[in-house]
């Protein structure tokens, strides 16, 4: 993948430094935090929080969880700082790409972005992915450099595409909701080369970047700016509606509306698939760690989504055959027995269902 704004030597070194900090967060600080939480001897999350705060390891863990992310973006050599200096050039790159196969990129300048997108600064990225080219490239750079997937041998995109093939091998019309810069959509298109694949997102800049990347790879993918709560597609028009890291960015009411929309646009018998953080292994301490992550990394709906009864929600929206399982990374025996892993990670959940 070409890099239109390669980081300078200094910016690259600085990002190594930040990754080092996050390694401490993931390993030593996390293990000390878990030990402190276990010593609380409580299943009550506020009590775990209160007791853990006495621990230097937890204070370091929570500081790193919040602030290393800010250094990554806004430190002197941070990714957003770097992209901001190249904002005009990056905007031009996206505008030029939009002129190539314009029929594949449908933007809606009148689309009102939901307040849960504009007010949250997801991942602590001010302006998130929705404001301009600089933010789209910053998102792409940082997500590829920092994803938990880096610590796992199998790409989550491969897991996603394999699950889609298993769920709906004959799919000819596929919608990928909340696609951001399109990594998940490209994975689907590679897995279903003969299908019409549409990537959908509320944010124009990341869709434009997704369009550019699909052109570079020679993939015919259609990109559409729309809200997953109100899809501009006909009833019963899709064989598969998939999403990758979407629902933990939406409040419960919005998730419910999106599920109903997914059911509406699916053909009877069509497949629904949501790959996201949902199941949280590790009992009360696992749930407490997840809540802390949601708070400190500005992913508040990771907390609310984990609290939803997705089996019941999907059935209420008109789905059957709901299956919910931890998909990635594969839980080892220790985690399957209810313990926490030895390092901090997100366990990704695959939810699949069939349009009844």
Partner 1 sequence: MEEKKPDLIDELGKLGGGDPESTRLMGVIVALAGEVFVLKAQVERLTRALEAGGTVDAQRLAAAAAQDGMTKWLEAEEAAFSRSLTAPYLDPDVSVNATRWMRAK
Piece in contact with partner 1 (CB under 8 A), picked from 214-222, 223-231, 293-301, 331-339: 293-301
Nearest residue to 329 (alpha-carbon basis) of 154, 124, 120, 144: 154
The SS3 call for residue 355 is strand
- Choice from 228, 277, 291, 317 touching partner 1 (CB under 8 A): 291
Q: Which residue reads 């070194």 in tokens?
A: 13
With binding defined as CB under 8 A, does residue 71 bind partner 1?
Answer: yes
Q: Nearest approach, Cβ of 307 to partner 1 (angstroms)?
A: 10
Q: How far apart are CA 151 and CA 34, in angstroms?
A: 20
With binding defined as CB under 8 A, does residue 89 bind partner 1?
Answer: no
Q: Which residue reads 């998130």 in tokens?
A: 128
DSSP state of 230: B
With binding defined as CB under 8 A, does residue 67 bind partner 1?
Answer: yes
Interface pattern 135-174 for partner 1 (x via CB under 8 A): ----------------------------------------
With binding defined as CB under 8 A, does residue 121 bind partner 1?
Answer: yes
In 278-336, at which residue ranges do the beta strands (DSSP E only) sit?
Answer: 319-328
Residues in CB range of 197: below 8 A, 6 or more apart: 174, 176, 185, 188, 189, 221, 222
The SS3 call for residue 330 is coil
DSSP state of 317: T
On whether the CB atoms of residues 202 and 227 are closer than 8 A, the answer is yes
With binding defined as CB under 8 A, does residue 31 bind partner 1?
Answer: no
**Alpha carbon separation from 341 to 52, 255, 281, 331, 337 (Å, rounded):** 18, 29, 9, 8, 11
Q: Which residue reads 């792409």 in tokens?
A: 140
- Choice from 1, 27, 50, 330 touching partner 1 (CB under 8 A): 50
Give 44 or 323: the residue with its C-beta nearer to partner 1: 44
With binding defined as CB under 8 A, does residue 304 bind partner 1?
Answer: yes
- Choice from 4, 7, 17, 152 touching partner 1 (CB under 8 A): 17
- Choice from 106, 295, 324, 326 touching partner 1 (CB under 8 A): 295
Piece in contact with partner 1 (CB under 8 A), picked from 17-25, 212-220, 311-319, 336-344: 17-25
Q: Nearest approach, Cβ of 267 to partner 1 (angstroms)?
A: 31
Q: Summarize as ranges the residues that interact with partner 1 (CB under 8 A).
A: 9-10, 13-14, 16-18, 20-21, 45-47, 49-50, 53, 58-59, 61-63, 66-71, 74-77, 116, 119-121, 124, 126, 251-253, 288, 291-292, 294-296, 298, 300-301, 303-304
């Amino acid at each position: 993948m070409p890099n239109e704004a390669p980081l300078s030597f200094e910016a690259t070194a600085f990002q190594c430094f930040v990754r080092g900090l996050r390694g401490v967060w993931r390993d030593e600080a996390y293990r000390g935090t878990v030990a402190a939480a276990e010593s609380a001897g409580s299943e009550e999350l506020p009590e775990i929080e209160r007791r853990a705060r006495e621990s230097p390891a937890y204070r370091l863990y929570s500081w790193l969880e919040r602030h290393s992310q800010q250094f990554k973006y806004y430190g002197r050599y941070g990714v957003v700082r770097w992209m901001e200096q190249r904002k005009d050039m990056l905007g031009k790159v996206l505008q030029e790409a939009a002129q190539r196969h314009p029929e594949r990129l449908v933007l809606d300048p009148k689309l009102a972005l939901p307040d849960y997108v504009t007010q949250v600064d997801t991942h602590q990225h001010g302006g998130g992915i929705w404001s301009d080219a600089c933010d789209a490239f910053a998102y792409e750079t940082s997500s590829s450099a920092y994803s938990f997937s880096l610590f796992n041998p199998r790409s989550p995109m491969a897991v996603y595409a394999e699950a889609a093939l298993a769920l709906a091998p004959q799919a000819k019309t596929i919608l990928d909701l909340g696609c951001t810069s399109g990594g998940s959509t490209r994975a689907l298109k590679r897995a279903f080369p003969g299908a019409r694949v549409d990537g959908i997102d509320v944010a124009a800049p990341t869709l434009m970047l997704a369009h550019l990347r699909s052109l570079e790879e020679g993939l015919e993918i259609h990109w559409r700016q729309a809200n997953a709560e109100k899809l501009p597609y006909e009833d019963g028009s899709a064989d598969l509606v998939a999403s990758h890291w979407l629902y933990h960015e939406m409040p419960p009411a919005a998730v419910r509306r999106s599920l109903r929309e997914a059911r509406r646009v699916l053909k009877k018998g069509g497949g629904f698939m949501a790959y996201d953080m949902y199941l949280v292994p590790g009992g009360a301490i696992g749930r407490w760690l997840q809540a802390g992550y949601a708070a400190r990394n500005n992913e508040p709906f990771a907390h609310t989504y984990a609290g939803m009864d997705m089996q019941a929600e999907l059935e209420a929206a008109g789905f059957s055959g709901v299956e919910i399982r931890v998909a990635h990374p594969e839980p080892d025996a220790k985690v399957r027995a209810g313990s926490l892993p030895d390092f901090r990670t997100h366990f990704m959940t695959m939810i699949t269902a069939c349009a009844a």
